Amino acid sequence: MKVSLNWLREFVEFDENALADLLTRAGVEVEGVEKRGVALDKVVVARIVRSERHPNADRLSVCQVDDGSGQPRQIVCGARNFQAGDKVPLALPGAILPGDFRIKASKLRGVESEGMLCSARELELAEDAEGLLILPATARTGAPLAELFPPDTVLDIEVTPNRPDLLSHGGMAREIAALTGKPWKGLDSQAIVHDGGADVRVEAGAECPLYSATRVANVNVGPSPDWLRKKLEAIGSRPINNIVDATNFVMFERGQPLHAFDAGKIEGGIVVRFAREGEEFLALDGRKYILGSRDLVIADSRRVVALAGVMGGEDSGVTGSTTEVILESASFDPAHVRRTARRLGLRSESSHRFERGVDIGNILPSAGRALELMGGAVTGVGIAGNPVRQRREVVLRYARCDALLGTAVGDDRIDRILTGFGLKKGAGWEIPSYRNDLAREVDLIEEVMRVVGMEVIPSKTTARFAASSDADRAYDRDMALRRTLAALGFFEARTLSLVSEGFRRVRNPLNEEQSALRSSLLPGLLRAVETNARFGTKDVRLFELGRVFGAEEETTHVALVMTGASGERSWRDPHPRQADLFDLKGVLAAARLGEIAFEKADGDSLDVLLDGRRAGRAGQAAAVLFAELELPAAAEGAGKGSCRAVGIYPAIARDIALVLPEEIPHGRVLEILRKGNEPLLERAELFDLFSDPEKLPAGKKSLAYSLTYRAKDRTLTADEANAAHARLKELLKAGLDVQFRE
């Protein structure tokens, strides 16, 4: 909300320089400060008498101006947007313009210039403006420019939704008075009184607890007085005419939105009711809206004339020919106003205030205030509902306040603070009608907190012993895995949970690309690979560890993608080979999640088995290698594990080279070796693989293994190792179509 300090000063005294900080510290955040007007000495209104081309410069002109002193003054000027008779700002010698620009009499290209004619930008009245600022012809020649552009400071304040009482200058002043202890000058206006002279019927009493209509005859619609226009302009509200301006002025002064109907266009009495389903309404913005049965409206006997609290109608508003108006001042249920305003996409200063709740005690005095400004003659007032709010009291225990704040504020101080906010001490604290947000003890404690400030609260550091939770275990497991994968050369990616396809779609997506919860991390990672490729990074290794969404459950997946070369090209290896599936498999194994195996599956991808259980899939998509696994729940006692004693007697290694049909997999060989249960065999490692038609028969391949033999309890003899080796050879021969190469 925009707040003019000039306007504010009518209600309370304050230190302008300290105000923004004072309010911000009290939770009324000042987000912007705007200086308006011209606060410059020696800048006056001048009339251009005549102008001629500069004898020595095509782009300049030499003007004779009247500065009101009676003495003619000569100014050299570079602008061209003026003519003789125009009134323009003149900075006299001695003036200091923004940017510490000192004006002095001088010669420009040989011609005397006694001052400078100014543009709006030079006076900081506009951000960019070409040429001189042409002033209204009515401006008094010689008058200080501050008369036309009174200096003011306008604050942009963020008012939290619980404080509608601050949405006006009067209300903001009341808060400042409470915070500083300065007197608040008040908002006294004569409340209107029901006389039955205006016909009002409220059919929705719960949603409209109070409605007043005041008929005013003999109004003259025309421009508002200058002082009122200036106030509205200062806070960015465009003046329209004296009637509409009066309603807006009262809203900005007292917080109560008002509306004025052209009485001549209202047929019969005013009715506050719900709209009929499908009923049409032509709003002030010129657009037609289709209403529903939950929209609260103001109607006459024929049609809807206003959306309650949101916007008036196009064909019932005040125009230049209006002579009689009906002034509305009322209270509407915040939820209904909000629903209607949102549904129709109509937001206004009025709906903003009604959505947060207006002060029921302020409704009838606000109408009275508007009547003072509008002129004309009141011919009748109709009021429906009760303007007196029920008395409310809230109890505050001083000890509770101290305990919650963690400091002893002092009972007297608490009393002073609450009294300052307009609360009255009795058995409890009586709450004023404009503070509906104060309903519980804790709300009062917050008021105390706002005034005493966080500075007086001590900083207490308390720690507790915290047992680790399932979430702790999962977090530690996940972080360890992330670090391992990073150490293996992968960068961690974080991609969006919303993708184009998944089991669960969002009802109201922003766009199709982000319309469903991901059931896999791969679409996001593949997209990231594309992004990298687009910027020229060809060798990409990324992983992500994050949540994926099934039809019901949320689980944690880890996924890896890999493209390009297996290693970095360098002087060591100018032609690194292309990465392949086994590079990825090696990384999965090195991540030590468990024993990793790949298994052919239906379709293009492979199943990834983790400790023998199907845990995910791997494969290649658009030349990108990928693998994705679901991580099991992190087990309690992770990090513990049994340890086998390592052998202390020397081992004997024997190599074996097998020639096999191409289709027999390595896994089969391993299986046979393992099933032999040879007690001396410690390890069997594949160290060579080839199928060379020059060296091997067609359809054959060679697999070479290094077998390590070791006894647990003694130094193995060569004879023992050879015997075990021979036994394994026999097993392989029995199980496979195999020959041994020497």
Partner 1 sequence: MEEELQRIGAEALTEIARAGSEAEVEASRVKYLGRAGSVSAWSERMKSLAKEEKPRIGKLLNETRAAVAEALERRRAALDSEKDARAFASLDISLPGTPVRPGGLHPITLLQDRAAAVFRRMGFALAEGPDVETEWHCFDALNTPPDHPARNERDTFYLPDGRLLRTHTSTVQIRAMEQAPPPVRIIAPGAAYRRDEIDATHLAQFTQMEGLYVDRGVSVADLKGTLEFFFRELLGAGAKCRFRPHFFPFTEPSFEIDIRARASGKWLELAGCGMVDPAVFEAVNGKRGDAAYDPEEYTGFAFGFGLDRLAMILSDVPDIRGFIENDVRFLSQFR
Interface with partner 1 in residues 396-455 (CB under 8 A): 403-407, 440, 442-443, 445-446, 449-450, 454
206 binds partner 1 (CB under 8 A): no
Classify 590 as helix, strand or coil: helix
Which residue carries 């054959």 as its tokens? 700
What phi and psi values does residue 361 have, to the nearest 5 degrees? Answer: -75, -10
Token pair, residue 286, equals 């010129």
**How many Å apart are CA 421 and CA 443, to the nearest integer?**
12
**How many Å apart are CA 273 and CA 679, to the nearest integer?**
93
Binding mask 521-560 for partner 1 (x = CB under 8 A): ----x--x--xx--x-x--xxx----x-x----x------
Among 510, 643, 645, 648, which residue interacts with partner 1 (rule: CB under 8 A)? Answer: 510
Shortest CB 404 distance to partner 1, Å: 6
Shortest CB 514 distance to partner 1, Å: 7
Token pair, residue 132, equals 């001189």
464 binds partner 1 (CB under 8 A): yes
Q: Which stretch binds partner 1 (CB under 8 A): 179-187, 264-272, 459-467, 648-656?
A: 459-467
Nearer to partner 1 by Cβ, of 30 and 731: the residue is: 30
Q: Which stretch binds partner 1 (CB under 8 A): 291-299, 307-315, 461-469, 625-633?
A: 461-469
Nearer to partner 1 by Cβ, of 504 and 614: the residue is: 504
Residues 152-171 as b/e (b if ≥16 CB within 10 A, e otherwise) read bbbbebebeebbbbbbbbbb
**How many Å apart are CA 467 and CA 479, to the nearest integer?**
19
Nearer to partner 1 by Cβ, of 106 and 578: the residue is: 578
Token pair, residue 630, equals 């679901």
Sign of CA dihedral 717, 721, 727, 730: negative
Token pair, residue 571, equals 């002087």
Binding mask 486-505 for partner 1 (x = CB under 8 A): xxxxxxxxxxxxx-----xx
| Footprint on residues 298-327 left by partner 1 (CB under 8 A) | none
Shortest CB 486 distance to partner 1, Å: 4
Strand positions, DSSP E, 67-203: 72-77, 87-91, 96-97, 101-102, 106-108, 111-113, 116-117, 152-158, 200-202
Residues 192-220 as b/e (b if ≥16 CB within 10 A, e otherwise) read beeeeebbbebebeebbbbbbbbbbeebe
Token pair, residue 633, equals 């729940």
Among 29, 41, 156, 630, which residue interacts with partner 1 (rule: CB under 8 A)? Answer: 29
377 binds partner 1 (CB under 8 A): no
* CB 425, CB 469: distance < 8 Å: no
Nearer to partner 1 by Cβ, of 50 and 483: the residue is: 483
688 binds partner 1 (CB under 8 A): no
Nearer to partner 1 by Cβ, of 457 and 638: the residue is: 457
Nearer to partner 1 by Cβ, of 71 and 508: the residue is: 508
459 binds partner 1 (CB under 8 A): yes
Shortest CB 413 distance to partner 1, Å: 16
687 binds partner 1 (CB under 8 A): no
With DSSP H G I counted as helix, E B as strand and the rest as coil, what are the percentages for the chain, rounded to 5? 25, 30, 45
| Footprint on residues 342-371 left by partner 1 (CB under 8 A) | 342
Shortest CB 170 distance to partner 1, Å: 21
Token pair, residue 200, equals 């009002």
541-549 and 491-492: which strand pairing?
A: parallel
679 binds partner 1 (CB under 8 A): no
Among 462, 648, 663, 697, which residue interacts with partner 1 (rule: CB under 8 A)? Answer: 462
Which runs of consecutive H residues, i.e. helices, occur in 535-634? Answer: 581-590
Shortest CB 559 distance to partner 1, Å: 12
**How many Å apart are CA 496 and CA 547, to the nearest integer?**
10
575 binds partner 1 (CB under 8 A): no
71 binds partner 1 (CB under 8 A): no
Among 101, 475, 690, 740, which residue interacts with partner 1 (rule: CB under 8 A)? Answer: 475
Among 107, 302, 507, 600, which residue interacts with partner 1 (rule: CB under 8 A)? Answer: 507
* CB 520, CB 628: distance < 8 Å: yes
Shortest CB 250 distance to partner 1, Å: 26
**How many Å apart are CA 546 and CA 559, to the nearest integer?**
9
600 binds partner 1 (CB under 8 A): no
Among 74, 162, 500, 691, which residue interacts with partner 1 (rule: CB under 8 A)? Answer: 162
CB atoms within 10 A of CB 470: 11
Shortest CB 470 distance to partner 1, Å: 8
- Surface-to-core class of residue 466, CB atoms within 10 Å of its CB (0-12 exposed, 13-18 middle, 19+ buried): exposed
Among 32, 94, 161, 183, which residue interacts with partner 1 (rule: CB under 8 A)? Answer: 161
163 binds partner 1 (CB under 8 A): yes
Nearer to partner 1 by Cβ, of 496 and 689: the residue is: 496
Name, in order, each residue with C-beta under 8 angstroms of 723's C-beta and a sequence gap of 6 or more: none
Shortest CB 347 distance to partner 1, Å: 11
Shortest CB 525 distance to partner 1, Å: 8
Nearer to partner 1 by Cβ, of 403 and 623: the residue is: 403
Shortest CB 591 distance to partner 1, Å: 12
Would you list the DSSP string of 557-569? EEEEEE-SBSS--
| Footprint on residues 39-58 left by partner 1 (CB under 8 A) | none
CB atoms within 10 A of CB 697: 9
- Report the DSSP beta bridge partners of residue 395: none
Token pair, residue 584, equals 């990825």
* CB 44, CB 144: distance < 8 Å: yes
Count residues near partner 1 (CB under 8 A): 87
Shortest CB 561 distance to partner 1, Å: 10
CA end-to-end distance (rounded Å), the chain: 91
Nearer to partner 1 by Cβ, of 329 and 495: the residue is: 495
**How many Å apart are CA 406 and CA 399, to the nearest integer?**
10
Shortest CB 452 distance to partner 1, Å: 10
Shortest CB 457 distance to partner 1, Å: 5
